[in-house]
Amino acid sequence: METTRPSPETIVAALAALAQEHRLAVFRALVQAGPEGMAAGAIAERLGVPASSLSFHLAQLRHAGLITQRREGRSLIYAADYAAMNGLVGYLMENCCGGAGCVDTLSDTLERIAS
């Protein structure tokens, strides 16, 4: 499966979205939740973020292409877009550290996030 390289604009939007404490926490929770994702209410409860604030942060993450949204009955379910996350990580590895020296550190970080 061939992946499309993200554009610099896409990378900037993703990094800008993640450069805020609550959005980073939301994204981390969704990565940990796996492909099934989480309902907005469950995210708010888990992180202690008011629903109105959470809605804004979720919209920013969606606009940056980092998460997806689907409706299940009356609930909105959000999930991390792993392809977008992998594209971001791949871009950073290729363009910022040349793929050398940070691979082990990156693997350790991703393992910690997943656990």
Listed range (16-25, 76-85, 105-114) with the worst mean pLDDT: 105-114
- Can you tell me the distance from the alpha carbon of 13 to that of 64, in angstroms, rounded to the nearest whole number? 5
pTM: 0.79
Q: Which fold has domain 8-114?
A: Arc Repressor Mutant, subunit A (1.10.10)
Listed range (10-24, 41-55, 73-87, 90-104) with the worst mean pLDDT: 90-104
Domain borders along the chain are 8-114
Q: What is the mean pLDDT of residues 74-91?
A: 93
Q: What is the mean pLDDT of residues 40-64?
A: 95
Pairing state between β 67-72 and 75-80: antiparallel
Contacts of 24 (CB under 8 A, 6+ apart): 18
Neighbours of 73 (CB within 10 A): 7
Per 3-state DSSP, what percentage of the chain is helix, strand, and coil (rounded to 5)?
A: 65, 10, 25
Tell which residue, 26, 103, 95, 101, has the closest CA to residue 67: 26
pLDDT, position 97: 64
Contact 85, 17 (CB under 8 A): no
Tell which residue, 47, 51, 50, has the closest CA to residue 26: 47
